[in-house]
Structures are given as structure tokens and as C-alpha cells.
Amino acid sequence: MPIRTEPVTVNIGPQHPSTHGVLRLRVTFDGEVIVDVEPIFGYLHRGSEKLAEERNYVQVLTLTDRLDYVASMTNNQAYCLAVEKLMGVEVPLRGQYLRVLAAELQRVASHLVAVGFLLQDLGALATPLMYCFRFREKILDLFEMLCGARITVSYMRPGGVFADAPPDFWPALDVLLAEASELVAELEQLLMQNEIVLIRTKNVGVLPLETAIAHSVSGPVLKASGLAWDWRKMDPYDVYDRVRFDVPVGDRGDNYDRLRVRIEEVKQSLGIVSQCVEQIEPGPARAELPFVLRPPAGAEAYGRVEAPKGELGFYLVSDGSIAPYRCKIRSPSLINLTVLRELLIGWKLADMIVTLGSIDINMGEVDR
């Protein structure tokens, strides 16, 4: 005979390692089973969009680094694309290649953080996370060679990039690419057939494709549910129309598929970087633009990229001054967080931690 229990509401948070920020979940349990979830955020609100309206167009770039600081390069890229559309600026070809190269290295680094912390949530303390961070550190070393920074890089600029890559960057990149296949093989060997990983992730936190589309989720979360939607393919920007890559998809939309899609994307990104190295030609890395930009009054533009976590977009409106009249950010972490309730109801607390980690959110761009 089943024991009757009263629902209990528990506050979980406001801090949790997998969120890379501050998130509180108000969870209602019936015994150990989750019957309702309400995500609550707003603790980290920085007012980035409003701050952007008080700075000139180049100064705004530093704000983009602090949104998803695990993927600063792609944040720079999305904002620069919006400014360039606003002003009708053409980026030199070498600058576009450097952007794509940097963005794909950033995608690898971001996915390594996602995979490492997901395993931490599974209870594999330290070792798998350090495996991921070991290779990520080498990518950050390359970023330091490009611009002197590792996390908040501010490398890209409207019209191209801050500076061309130094001569010693290319041999260091070759060494990294030579080591990459060993990293991917090691991750697959350790994870993809690991009994604990399979039990805790397969058929857990299933997100049907119809639900994913209805909530406008994007990135690996959407691809894991079976839709090969990637803005690098659907609406190519910079030189993505010059490189070949596949869009990995899952077939169940569970925690395992979200993990697998990210590892497959690491492979594809490394292939894109190799193609950029082969194809890049000498030339200017940045267009000649005024020190202070002043787009025409009434102009508006939307710059969009396929960031590691999904569609990241900047909508800008100009009033003819040196600062945006309006700045609106479409951040994937915020949108992807909206499916959390559907993913968690019916599962238990231990599953909730893993499923939250599988979404891969960064509160910096949720509470922007």
C-alpha cells in the first residue's frame, strides 16, 4: 500500500556549481519526486543593456565579454556583426578568418567547461573536470597570444579584429591541433560508454523536439532533440560559407544526447580551425574606421551568431550619436532555461542536478 505524503516545497540555491552564477530553484517534491519547479533569477542583474546605451560603440564591446564569460569570443562576434550591419562595414577577408578561427576555439573551450562540470555534477570529482580544463588552458594560452587576455578577451572589433595574430601564434596552434585528436579520443573512451554516465543520462531529462521548438531553445539543447539547426549553416556569417562541417544531432533529446552533441561539436570545430589555417591569406585584419563610430540616425540591425550555448543576438538602434539608442540582447542561456520545468517534473533531486548541468547555462547572460 503506497504511503500518502504531503508535497513539500524546498528552496535549492541560490548558488550551485553547474550554473556558473546565481540561480534559485523553488522545487515542490512529493517524497523524492519533483512535481513542480520554478526557476528564480535576478540576483546577478548588471544592467548590461542599459549600460551599453551610455557608452560608445567600441566601449560596449567590453560588456559583451562579461555576459557569457566562458565564451567571450562569440559574444564579441555577435556584437561586432550588429555594429557592422548598422554602419554597412565590410570586414577584410583575413579578419573574417581570424574571427572564425577564434570563435571555434572558443566553442571548444566552452564545451569542455560544459562537459567537465556535467561530470562533476554526476559525482566524478575533479579528475574528469581537470582533463577538460587541461586542454582548455592551452586554448586560453592562444587567446593570450592573440590579445593579451584569457577570459574577457575583447579581441574582435567592429571592422575585424583588434590585431593580427603574432608569428609565434601559428606554430602554437599547430601543436594544439596535433594534440586535439588524442583529447577527443580520451573523452569518448572515458565517457561515452561509462556505465555510470549511461545510467544517469540516458532517457533522463528528455526534451521532445516539439517542446524545444515551442520554447525557442537553440544550440546543443535543440540539436540533441533532433533538429539540425545551426546559424552557421542557415545564415552564414564571416567565412562560414567557405568551410565544411556537419551539424551533429541527437535522437532522444536526453542528457546523454546533449553531452554527445557537445563532444561531436568539438570535433567539428577543430576541423573548422584546421580549414581556416589552410585557407587564410595575408592581408589587413581590420577595416579602417573612425576612432569614434557614429551610425546614421534611424538605422537598426540585428547581429546573430551560433554561440556555444545557442543563438546569441544583439539588436541595436541608432539615433545618430556615438552610443546605441537601444541595445537588446537575445541570450541563449535565458531562453534555454525556460524548458527547465518540463525537463524536471517527474524526476528526482539527483536527476535535477545533472539535467540542469546538461543545459549548460551561464547566469552572466541570464541576468544581463
Please spell the DSSP secondary structure of 253-288, one letter per residue.
-SHHHHHHHHHHHHHHHHHHHHHHHHH--SS-SB--
Please give the full DSSP string across 214-237, using - where no structure is assigned: HTT--THHHHHTT----HHHHS--
pTM of the model: 0.93
Q: Kind of pairing, strands 15-16 and 300-307?
A: unpaired
- Of residues 72 and 192, the one with the higher pLDDT is 72
Counting Cβ atoms within 10 Å, is residue 164 exposed (0-12), middle (13-18) or buried (19+)? middle
The grid coordinates of residue 305 equal 551568431
Q: What angle do CA 309, 267, 170 make, to 5 degrees?
A: 100
Give the pLDDT of residue 21.
63
pLDDT in tens, 115-148: 988 888 888 777 888 888 889 999 999 999 999 9
- For position 241, what pLDDT does the model report? 95
Distance CA 303, CA 308 (A): 16
- What is the arithmetic mean of pLDDT over 144-160? 93
Give the CATH H-level superfamily of domain 49-157+165-336.
Answer: Cytochrome-c3 Hydrogenase, chain B (1.10.645.10)
- Structure confidence at residue 100 (pLDDT): 97
Q: pLDDT tens digit string along 16-67?
A: 554 656 788 899 999 889 999 998 887 777 889 999 999 999 999 999 999 9
Residues of the chain with pLDDT > 70: what percent? 97
Q: Tell me the pLDDT of the chain averaged across its residues.
A: 91
Q: List Cβ neighbours of 64 (8 Å cut-off, separation of 6 or more).
A: 72, 75, 76, 78, 79, 314
pLDDT surpassing 70 at residue 106? yes
The mean pLDDT of 210-220, rounded to a whole number, is 95
